[in-house]
Amino acid sequence: MARVLNILGYGLIVLGAAVIVVGSVSVLVFQGWGAFADLFSPFNGWNVLALAVILAPGILLVTLAEKMEKRKK
């Protein structure tokens, strides 16, 4: 069970990273460098929140799998 959760978690992290990269590149291509720089500005709290929401399920599943493996030992 832990192995399945681990694989699923890493899959979600990779999928989330791919969504972030594709979205960032599309902003750069279609809206230019200024919009891209605004997107990754440290004062852009909405972007940080969106990144957390995208990556959180995968990180939580990996953490749960690690706790299950540790508890089994």
Q: Are 56 and 16 in contact (CB under 8 A)?
A: no
Q: What is the pLDDT of residue 42?
A: 87
Q: Which residues contact 51 (CB under 8 A, 6 or more apart)?
A: 20
Sign of CA dihedral 30, 34, 40, 46: negative
Q: In one letter, which amino acid is 31?
A: Q
- Print pLDDT tens along the chain (73 aa): 999 999 999 999 999 999 999 999 999 999 999 999 999 898 999 999 999 999 999 999 999 999 999 998 7
Comparing C-alpha atoms, which of 3, 11, 40, 6 is closest to residue 23? 40
Q: What is the pLDDT of residue 72?
A: 81
